[in-house]
Amino acid sequence: MTSVTGGIETKLSGTTLFADGEKGTGPLAPGALDRLMASGSGLARFRGDDGVHVVAKGETLSSIAARAGTDWQTLARINGLADPDRLSVGQRLQLPDAPRVHIVRAGETVSGIARAEGTSVAAITRDNRLADADLIHPGQRLTIGARASFPVPSTASAAPAAPTVAPIAPATTAAISPGAASVRAADVAADRAAGHQSIGKCYAWVKTALQQAGAVPDYMPGVAAKDAGPTLEARGFVNLLDRPGNAIRSPYDAPKGAVLVYGAAPGAVDRNARYGHIEIRTGTGFASDYASANARTGAAANGLEGRGRVLTGVYVKPDAAPAAAPAPTGPTPTAAEGAYAPANLRLGANEPHRAAIVEAATRTGMTPQTVAAIIDAETLKDANGVWRADAAASTSSAVGMTQFLKGTWVAEAQRAGGVLNAEAKAAGVVDANNRVVDRDALLALRTDARLSILAGADYARQNLAALTRGGSVPADASPAALAKYAYLAHHEGLAGARGFVSGDMSYLRDATFEANVPAASRQRYLDAAGGSEPLAYRNWLSDYVDRRIDVTRFMGDAAGVEVPATRNLVR
């Protein structure tokens, strides 16, 4: 097997080593290997005990695997461990192969590559500095198996290898405390989770709490909670388990505001073995999509392991640590910022959906009021104006709060990188390769109010992005205008929205006017348009959108907010 790392190529099946990144330039001259190792190059560990870890007191197979950039199953397999729970101090474990390069092929995903290469999504994400593990492209080169951050046991004859991919900050004996935003996130998480039972959305709820509190600038990517470490580190968090000055003997030693990441114990095969768990340390316990006085591993006496779980990270973000991740992309409010703040969101009878609206806003880059206006216009409501999660159309297959057709819902669930795609994977109804595993269960999710809102908002965001790229929507459009553009795309389709905005109504079919405009209003609009049916339809649709879409209805204070008339959106 041949591996390419940095500017050095090594033939692992034999002993020949080549330098300068040129295959076939000849073997290294006598003494060159020693010089390379002494210089701290990535070749230092190809000598003697390369790829061997000596088990230290307190280590588990899971903790060793996490540091080695792999998983415990791979270590157990290559070392022939009959019982992964039984390790001895001083035991020598063979680590996976040295770093190699995988070139992404069409249709591949990071999770699929990780399984095929015997590593983990977290390792590939970390070693390649991926901002979003769901976004890779054919031809992309991924480093596999880099163990730059793994501490090699020191020996008298081997110099420590220098990190080759993602350096870890030097260990320090100084205590690291969560910053103000992290502490706020703990309070947000505790308040939101109070009285709730687990709904299998721990990672989503922690992401929302961190973003709402300002601890992270975006709704973090990723699906599996156990792989959250690299994503948190990219946003300025540090793992206290890697810091000798911050002794963590159990989750209960974590300070308020710390984010605790768990993996499954060796041998676990349940759902959580795939997704792990994540929670935030609060003032009175732990919170994710539910609140509890107890950590996921149980009592403090269990240490870092218990109840089939292993604590793999205690992530803390100090005030001084900068967030490396970019702010979410998408339309940005240009006026009356305060009016569009989550605190100024008013939902009336639909207040129970506040968390979902705010989550949808943070995940799409739209304001909460824009999302609320879009959802309110698209959904079916009861006599009291309450959005109906169980609504079903009588003339089509549309079901749920945002009335997704079967085909559209399935397509959104399979669209790599989409919000519904991530949620469907987390629910286990779509696999890592974006194939539907259980179609009936997937379609049944349309009546999940939160998912319907998230999917509806993400669909609107896609339409707005397409209209913006095509020049139909100005880059500086206000949130109030964006809500109307989004609804035009929902009502007319992308082609129709482009035609409406450009003034070209040739997209209309012969029966469009009669099918949409109420009979009692048709003649009035025709007369006003001088008998022109396209113009009459255009005027009716403008009035219709104005009646249905108004962001100020979802504001406590709408001072300074201007809502443009739909007729004025024509370019």
pLDDT value of residue 10: 30
DSSP letters spanning 430-486 = B-TTS-BS-HHHHHHGGG-HHHHHHHHHHHHHHHHHHHHHTTSS-TT--HHHHHHHH
Q: Measuring CA to CA, which residue among 350, 300, 287, 367 is closest to residue 552?
A: 367
Q: Which residue has the tokens 């599996």?
A: 224
Interval 2-29 mean pLDDT: 32
Contact 50, 56 (CB under 8 A): no
Polymer length in residues for the chain: 571
pLDDT value of residue 553: 93
Interval 240-252 mean pLDDT: 78
Q: Residue 87: helix, strand or coil by DSSP? A: coil
pLDDT value of residue 71: 64
Contact 166, 129 (CB under 8 A): yes
Interval 505-562: pLDDT, tens:
888 888 888 888 999 989 999 998 899 998 999 899 999 999 999 999 999 888 888 8
pLDDT value of residue 515: 87
Q: Measuring CA to CA, which residue among 375, 393, 346 is closest to residue 487?
A: 375
Q: Measuring CA to CA, which residue among 353, 441, 342 is closest to residue 402?
A: 353
Report which DSSP code applies to 310: E
At 161, the pLDDT band (50, 70, 90 cuts) reads very low
Residues 6+ apart with CB under 8 A from 145: 69, 70, 96, 97, 98, 99, 100, 117, 119, 123
Q: Measuring CA to CA, which residue among 212, 314, 215, 299 is closest to residue 261?
A: 314
Sign for the pseudo-dihedral over CA of 454, 458, 461, 467: negative
pLDDT higher than 90, residue 119: no
DSSP letters spanning 210-256 = HHHHTSSSS----S-GGGHHHHHHTTT-EEGGG-TTS--SSGGGSPT
Residues 6+ apart with CB under 8 A from 320: 179
- The two tokens of residue 145 are 């198996």
Per-domain residue ranges for the chain?
2-144, 180-316, 337-389+448-569
Q: Which residue has the tokens 């509806």?
A: 456
Cα 486 from Cα 522, distance rounded (Å): 25
- The two tokens of residue 125 are 């994400």
Interval 416-427 mean pLDDT: 86
In the chain, the percentage of residues whose pLDDT exceeds 70 is 75
At 286, the pLDDT band (50, 70, 90 cuts) reads very high
Give, for 491, the enclosing helix (H) or strand (E): helix 479-502
Give, for 406, the enclosing helix (H) or strand (E): helix 406-414
Q: Measuring CA to CA, which residue among 202, 51, 215, 222 is closest to residue 120?
A: 222
Q: Which residue has the tokens 């991740």?
A: 325
Contact 458, 423 (CB under 8 A): no
- The two tokens of residue 139 are 């031809």
pLDDT higher than 80, residue 437: yes
pLDDT value of residue 235: 87
pLDDT value of residue 279: 96
pLDDT higher than 70, residue 319: yes
Give, for 100, the enclosing helix (H) or strand (E): strand 100-103
Interval 70-98 mean pLDDT: 72
Cα 49 from Cα 56, distance rounded (Å): 16
pLDDT higher than 90, residue 318: no
Please give the backbone phi and psi of residue 103, each rounded to the nearest 5 degrees, phi first. -95, 120
Please give the mean pLDDT across all residues of the chain.
Answer: 76
pLDDT top residue among 23 and 516: 516
At 99, the pLDDT band (50, 70, 90 cuts) reads low
Most confident of 9-13, 27-31, 84-88, 504-508: 504-508
CATH number of 2-144: 3.10.350.10
> E strands, 296-420, where?
305-306, 309-316
pLDDT higher than 50, residue 329: no
Interval 395-419 mean pLDDT: 88
At 455, the pLDDT band (50, 70, 90 cuts) reads very high
Q: Measuring CA to CA, which residue among 552, 557, 395 is closest to residue 480?
A: 552
At 170, the pLDDT band (50, 70, 90 cuts) reads very low
Long-range contacts of 26-30 (CB under 8 A, 24+ apart): none
Contact 379, 389 (CB under 8 A): no
Cα 148 from Cα 42, distance rounded (Å): 8
Q: Which residue has the tokens 């330098």?
A: 19
- The two tokens of residue 45 are 């560990």
Interval 423-429 mean pLDDT: 86
Least confident of 166-170, 242-246, 389-393, 442-446: 166-170
- The two tokens of residue 526 are 């025709």
Cα 118 from Cα 20, distance rounded (Å): 28
pLDDT top residue among 306 and 481: 481
Amino acid at 50: D
- The two tokens of residue 120 are 């983990």
- The two tokens of residue 64 are 């060793």
Interval 75-90 mean pLDDT: 74
pLDDT higher than 70, residue 261: yes
CATH superfamily placement of domain 180-316 = endopeptidase domain like (from Nostoc punctiforme) (3.90.1720.10)
At 330, the pLDDT band (50, 70, 90 cuts) reads very low
At 82, the pLDDT band (50, 70, 90 cuts) reads low
Q: Measuring CA to CA, which residue among 238, 228, 235, 257 is closest to residue 323?
A: 235
pLDDT value of residue 244: 58
Please give the backbone phi and psi of residue 78, each rounded to the nearest 5 degrees, phi first. -75, -15
pLDDT value of residue 328: 40
Q: Measuring CA to CA, which residue among 444, 196, 419, 438 is closest to residue 328?
A: 419
pLDDT higher than 80, residue 247: no
pLDDT higher than 80, residue 287: yes
Q: Measuring CA to CA, which residue among 145, 64, 142 is closest to residue 97?
A: 145
pLDDT higher than 50, residue 497: yes
Contact 216, 235 (CB under 8 A): yes
If you count DSSP H runs as helices and E runs as strands, how many of each does the chain have, helices first?
19, 14
pLDDT top residue among 225 and 9: 225
Interval 355-364: pLDDT, tens:
889 888 888 8
pLDDT value of residue 222: 82
Interval 199-206 mean pLDDT: 88
pLDDT value of residue 442: 92
Please give the backbone phi and psi of residue 8, each rounded to the nearest 5 degrees, phi first. -125, 130
Least confident of 132-141, 243-252, 477-486, 557-566: 132-141
pLDDT higher than 50, residue 15: no
Cα 63 from Cα 61, distance rounded (Å): 6
pLDDT value of residue 97: 58
